Amino acid sequence: MATARLSPTANLLRKSRLFALPQALQPPQDPPSSKLVFESNTSTLPHPIRASIVTPQKSLARGDWGLKRSLPAKSTSEKSSRPVVRVQALDTYEHVTDFESAADHTLTLEKFQELHMPMSLPSKVNYSTSIIPRHQSPFESHVDNTESSRGLAETGAKQYRQSGPWLGGLTQAEFVDYLNQVRHQKPKLLEKLRERFEAKRFAEARKQAQDNGQDFEAIEPVKVTDEEFNTYIKTLRGDPFALGPVVFELLDLPAAPAVPSERIGRKYYQSPGTKLSAAEYAVTGPPKTHPSAGLSYTRTHALTYNHPVYGPQAYQRPVEARILRPKGRFKGRVSKAIAGVGGIAVEDLNAMTFVDQGTPPGLMSFDATIPGGAKYWVTPVRAAVDADGRIGLSSYRASATAKAPYGIQEFQKPSGTSISENARRDANVVPRLDKPRYNQPRFRPSPDNVPRSPEQSKEDIVNSLMQDLNSSR
């Protein structure tokens, strides 16, 4: 069979790495606020919006990155041993390629993969107890669904994305635009509502026949008239508790959070039970990406960490966390401590689990005397991606059992009763304990038979020798 020939242009595009780059994503939007917000144009974004580009060493020596023009070595190979770039614009008005380093997100991904953490669905972690939330993988068939997935036909299936928007995250203009789209689809929506009403009437007829002892299999599908359908619509409009679930299911909207109390003194539209894969999505909105975000495809924590000397371990090797902001008052209120674990900012690390082991130095307040900054060892227990695409990492302080096989010891600040390092040395050197008295005079007259003080100056010693020589003559 003859193969189809491609034109030179099509063959070039087919083999081009530049043509295979995905389109850039929209940068994350800042939440609306009436307060003054301080931002930085060079800060690292919560998630990458452009693909990272690497090149082989042979091409890197020539500055060839597969782009329109070569990139300078001063900004790539000479600046980093593992250069990775992201392209902002292939060709600008000044005929240059606008690029920047992509090592921030690339190294964060490598650090996270070294933790060997499976991704979980978002769930709140209560640090005041030792109970870890149950891990639920986002790759399970009954939760890894969208509006077009086949798994929605299963009983109890949930989805992480609906065809309709999340009403809580729409602005006024976006909400008005969505209402206009719904008005244009009114005939189709009424037809779907009619089918739902007929299916409901048919199910009620089968249930009644079964209760009366009749043959419910012989009942034919029910066909409602226009008058009955209009009466059903008027009934829904007068009952917000019945209209709410119908609207959410008909438009395939993400369910709203549950009403805190049923004793509210006003009418509200009841939403159906959430179909979202995680309960946290009902408050923060459905995720913008897959719940795993492609960070890890491991589905469980069932891993064995084998030590070369001590064999299988119950815990993985602890990770050193750097305290970025200690606990204290921040912007007028008490703030939680923030630490960095593998390039990820982790909050709420000043937990109740520190009571039995002592608080790490530098956690309660900033301490500049700690060499290299305040750090301590932690054991990651849970990782998830929230609705905004940010990585949420939960960790507990590493126990003595987890640190013992690796010889890890926490930093301890020297106290007034601690023994100095000079006293711990094995060499036969006794440290000098006396110190020169700088507040005393440098020369004090003494008898001839008493050796002079070593604090005398050279000029005084020379004068004393000259007097002795003259007296001997």
pLDDT at 356: 47
Q: What is the pLDDT of residues 237-295, one digit of tens each?
A: 888 788 888 888 888 888 877 665 555 556 667 777 778 888 888 888 888 889 998 89
Extract the tokens encoding 379: 């054991």
Per-residue pLDDT at 102 exceeds 50: yes
For the cut 70, the answer to whether the pLDDT of residue 439 exceeds it is no
pLDDT for 238 = 83
Is 305:316 a contact under the CB 8 Å cutoff? yes
Percentage with pLDDT > 70 across the chain: 80
Asked if pLDDT for residue 163 goes beyond 50, the answer is: yes
Domain range annotation of the chain: 20-115, 163-274, 306-406
Angle at 399 between CA 394 and CA 405, to 5 degrees: 115
Give the separation between CA 342 and CA 104, rounded to whole angstroms: 12
Note the pTM of the prediction, 2 decimals: 0.73
Task: Give Cα 67 to chain centroid, integer Å.
Answer: 32
Crossing angle of the two packed helices 172-184 and 186-211, in degrees rounded to 10: 70
pLDDT in tens, 26-55: 887 776 667 777 777 778 888 888 999 999
pLDDT given at position 111: 92
Average pLDDT, the chain: 80
Side-chain half-sphere exposure of 248, counting CA atoms within 13 A: 21
User: How large is the greatest C-alpha to C-alpha distance in the chain, in angstroms?
Assistant: 148
Give the count of alpha carbons within 13 A of 239, CB side only.
11
* Residue 443 scores a pLDDT above 50: no
Q: Which band of pLDDT confidence, cut at 50, 70 and 90, is reported for residue 457?
A: low
- The whole-number average pLDDT for the span 56-71 is 88
- Of the candidates 123, 47, 140, the one whose C-alpha atom is nearest the C-alpha of residue 284 is 123
Q: What pLDDT score does 181 carry?
A: 92
pLDDT in tens, 384-415: 998 888 898 888 888 888 899 988 888 887 76
Burial of residue 350 (number of CB atoms within 10 Å: 0-12, 13-18, 19+): buried
**Would you say residue 134 has pLDDT above 50?**
yes
pLDDT higher than threshold 70 for residue 128: no
Whole-number pLDDT of residue 1: 46
Q: What percent of the chain has pLDDT over 90?
A: 11
pLDDT at residue 265, as a whole number: 59
Confidence of residue 430 (pLDDT cuts 50, 70, 90): low
Distances (CA, A) of 147 to 75, 94, 160, 181: 45, 46, 9, 18
Q: Distances from the Cα of 207 to the Cαs of 104, 216, 224, 275, 411, in angstroms?
A: 61, 8, 18, 26, 71
pLDDT at residue 184 tops 90: yes
Per-residue pLDDT band for 119 (boundaries 50, 70, 90) equals very high
Question: Average pLDDT of 98-126?
Answer: 88
Instruction: Determine the Cα–Cα distance for residues 402 and 410; give it in Å rounded to an integer.
Output: 12
| Full DSSP string of 157-207 | --BS--SS--GGG--HHHHHHHHHHHHHTHHHHHHHHHHHHHHHHHHHHHH
The better pLDDT of the pair 444, 272 is held by: 272
- Residues 6 or more apart whose CB falls under 8 angstroms from that of 416 comprise none
Which pLDDT score, from 0 to 100, does residue 349 have?
54
pLDDT at 86: 92
72 sits in which H/E element: none
- pLDDT score at 4: 64
The yes-or-no verdict on residue 353 having pLDDT over 50 is no
Output the six-digit token pair for 462.
């020379």
Residue 388 has phi, psi (to 5 degrees) of -90, 5
Under the banding of pLDDT at 50, 70 and 90, the label for residue 450 is very low
- Over range 372-391, report the average pLDDT: 88
What digits encode the pLDDT tens for the residues 293-348?
Answer: 889 998 888 888 888 998 998 888 999 999 988 887 666 666 778 889 988 888 76
Residue 116: how many CB atoms within 10 A of its CB? 14
What CA–CA distances, in Å, run from 286 to 7, 17, 59, 320?
44, 33, 42, 33
Q: What is the dihedral of CA 382, 384, 386, 391, to 10 degrees?
A: 90
**How far separated are the first and last CA of the chain, in Å rounded?**
127
What is the predicted pLDDT for the residue at 291? 92
**How many distinct helices (H) and strands (E) make up the chain?**
11, 12
CA 186 to centroid of chain Cα atoms = 41
- Contact in structure between 137 and 300 (CB atoms under 8 Å): yes
Confidence of residue 84 (pLDDT cuts 50, 70, 90): very high
Does the pLDDT of residue 463 top 80, yes or no?
Answer: no
CA 252, CA 192: separation in Å to the nearest integer? 12
